[in-house]
Amino acid sequence: MSDYFQSIAKVEFEGKDTRNPLAFKYYNPKQKVLEKTIEDHLRMAVCYWHTFNWPGNDPFGGQTFLRPWMDHQDAIHQATDKMENAFSFFDKLDIPYFCFHDVDIAPEGNNFNETELIQKKIVDLISKKLETSKVKLLWGTANLFSHRRYMAGAATNPNPEIFQYAAAQVKMCIENTHYLGGQNYVLWGGREGYETILNTNMKQEFDQLGRFLSLVAEHKHKIGFKGNLLIEPKPHEPTKHQYDFDSANVFAFLQKYGLEKEFKLNIEVNHAILAKHSFEHEIAYALANDIFGSIDINRGDYLVGWDTDQFPNNTEELLLPFYYLFKNQGLGSGGLNMDAKIRRQSIDPEDLFYAHIGAMDTCARTLLAVERMINDGSYEDFLQKRYENWTHDKELMSSTSLEGIYEKVKSENINPQPQSGRQEYLENLLNSFIE
């Protein structure tokens, strides 16, 4: 194997004053924060597709990254060399998790049976590598959107043969994920949506998607997979109208098909922004409805309206969503998957390290700020006080009637006075926790 990362040593924590760009400044994996280590809280994952597969193309130009494994003529050789390099990267970064799509780890064959054999071969090799590496599989997923057969969707395709092909692909992928000890299984909507309503029967497509998800849930139980099934909302791109628009939309869909207990959400930061929400909105929504599962941690670009999938580097933007999470249940069996790619001019091996180190540092720095915020308690006090009167007014939520309320307003001469929402105070308060 050609070790593409040969020149880079294992990344160590050196503290925030280090000038070494290949060291962690905040991400000290074994440091205890809120009763657990930083590593165990954050459960950070490298994504295979952007980090090892993406060649640096954009709509105006092709490959800029010349990774050695990309040159091999033989597809299996390409996959195994890529895998060896991926594990070298995982080990040097000391990352606890990774994520993949089936087609990221191994090429497709000429038909389903061939693809299955190739997948099995690479999955077995990965399984061997997992025995000696610390890294574990956070989640697997099937790519049901790149191949031309899926151009009009997978589960929502007008052709039932494509539905079946996609279902068989998910069966294979969820079983491989289970075999590799994967902790979750993700379904991103891919091309489940439409370009024009002119050629689309929406009700039919909804029923197909509902049926598809039911089949996946049924199979999960059949094979004894204990991980969460996760749906990843995204409003647009690649289709103009994606069916899994945002968390609320997915929750409504799941309830319609009786699946709200079977699926949770994988929330991606920039997908929230593209839906004209904030990331904290999506997290708060998922927590409030008990459907939070995991996170794809990246950022977009405020000047462009598409999914630029950049590495996170802004603690201020992550503070509130991380507070909601770590104040409550934390990430559970989910994690922070760096579904992010370096820029196409960042062509050197160290660029991949700078990106991941920066992201892990940003997340650790945010977690440390969350700890300060929790220990300080004034934010929580503010929220509690704002809703406090509801604790004295229990009958409003249960026993009273509209008439009863009317009588009370009249007899007690209820005359409520508005109170400040204190937004600026809160914004300043939050900023004060970042160090």
For the annotated catalytic residues, the residue numbers are: 101, 104
State both tokens at 203.
């009700």
CB 143 within 8 A of CB 103: yes
CB closer to ligand XUL, 192 vs 296? 296
CB closer to ligand XUL, 28 vs 119? 119
Q: Determine the distance from the C-alpha atom of residue 277 to the mean position of all C-alpha atoms in its chain, rounded to a whole number.
A: 16
Q: Smallest gap, in angstroms, from Cβ of residue 141 to ligand XUL?
A: 5
- Nearest-CA neighbor of 356 among 2, 42, 36? 42
CB closer to Co ion, 296 vs 361? 296
Q: Give the interface segment with Co ion, choosing from 148-156, 190-198, 221-229, 332-340 (CB under 5 A).
A: 332-340
Distance CA 365, CA 356 (A): 14
Taking CB within 5 to 8 Å according to partner kind, which of Co ion, ligand XUL, none is near residue 141? ligand XUL
Q: What angle do CA 57, 60, 62 make, to 5 degrees?
A: 30
- Only one residue has tokens 């999938």, namely 309
Q: Which of residues 259-318 bind ligand XUL (CB under 6 A)?
A: 268, 296, 307
- Nearest-CA neighbor of 364 among 23, 33, 49? 33
Q: Smallest gap, in angstroms, from Cβ of residue 216 to ligand XUL?
A: 14
Taking CB within 5 to 8 Å according to partner kind, which of Co ion, ligand XUL, none is near residue 234? ligand XUL
Interface residue with Co ion among 81, 102, 192, 268 (CB under 5 A) is 268
State both tokens at 46.
């490298």
Q: Smallest gap, in angstroms, from Cβ of residue 337 to Co ion?
A: 7
Binding mask 396-425 for ligand XUL (x = CB under 6 A): ------------------------------
Q: Which residues are CB-contacts of 391 (< 8 A; sequence separation ≥ 6)?
A: none
Q: Smallest gap, in angstroms, from Cβ of residue 232 to ligand XUL?
A: 5
Q: Give the interface segment with Co ion, choosing from 142-150, 176-184, 289-297, 373-381 (CB under 5 A).
A: 289-297
Size, binding site for Co ion by CB under 5 A: 3
Q: Which amino acid is at 370?
A: V
Taking CB within 5 to 8 Å according to partner kind, which of ligand XUL, Co ion, none is near residue 317? none
Q: Smallest gap, in angstroms, from Cβ of residue 307 to ligand XUL?
A: 5
In this structure, what is the dihedral angle of CA atoms 134, 170, 308, 269, given to the nearest 10 degrees? Answer: -70
CB 122 within 8 A of CB 82: no
98 lies in the binding site for ligand XUL (CB under 6 A): no
Q: Which of residues 144-173 bind Co ion (CB under 5 A)?
A: none
234 lies in the binding site for ligand XUL (CB under 6 A): yes
Q: Which residues are CB-contacts of 152 (< 8 A; sequence separation ≥ 6)?
A: 158, 159, 162, 191
141 lies in the binding site for ligand XUL (CB under 6 A): yes
Q: Which of residues 12-71 bind ligand XUL (CB under 6 A)?
A: none
State both tokens at 215.
């089949």
Distance CA 129, CA 302 (A): 40
Interface residue with Co ion among 175, 246, 296, 317 (CB under 5 A) is 296
Q: Which of residues 154-193 bind ligand XUL (CB under 6 A)?
A: 186, 188
Q: Smallest gap, in angstroms, from Cβ of residue 36 to ligand XUL?
A: 26
Q: Is the peptide bond before 55 cis (omega within 30 degrees of 0)?
A: no
Q: Give the interface segment with Co ion, choosing from 79-87, 163-171, 247-255, 334-342 (CB under 5 A).
A: 334-342
In DSSP terms, which residues pair with 101 in a beta bridge? 141
CB closer to ligand XUL, 188 vs 285? 188
- DSSP string for residues in 158-223: SSHHHHHHHHHHHHHHHHHHHHTT-SEEEEE-TT-EES-GGG--HHHHHHHHHHHHHHHHHHHHHT
Q: What angle do CA 164, 165, 171 make, to 5 degrees?
A: 85
- Nearest-CA neighbor of 236 among 186, 192, 187? 192
Distance CA 396, CA 407 (A): 13
Taking CB within 5 to 8 Å according to partner kind, which of Co ion, ligand XUL, none is near residue 282? none
Q: Give the interface segment with Co ion, choosing from 109-117, 129-137, 263-271, 413-421 (CB under 5 A).
A: 263-271
Q: Smallest gap, in angstroms, from Cβ of residue 232 to Co ion?
A: 5
Residues binding ligand XUL (CB under 6 A): 101, 141, 186, 188, 232, 234, 268, 296, 307, 339
Residues binding Co ion (CB under 5 A): 268, 296, 339
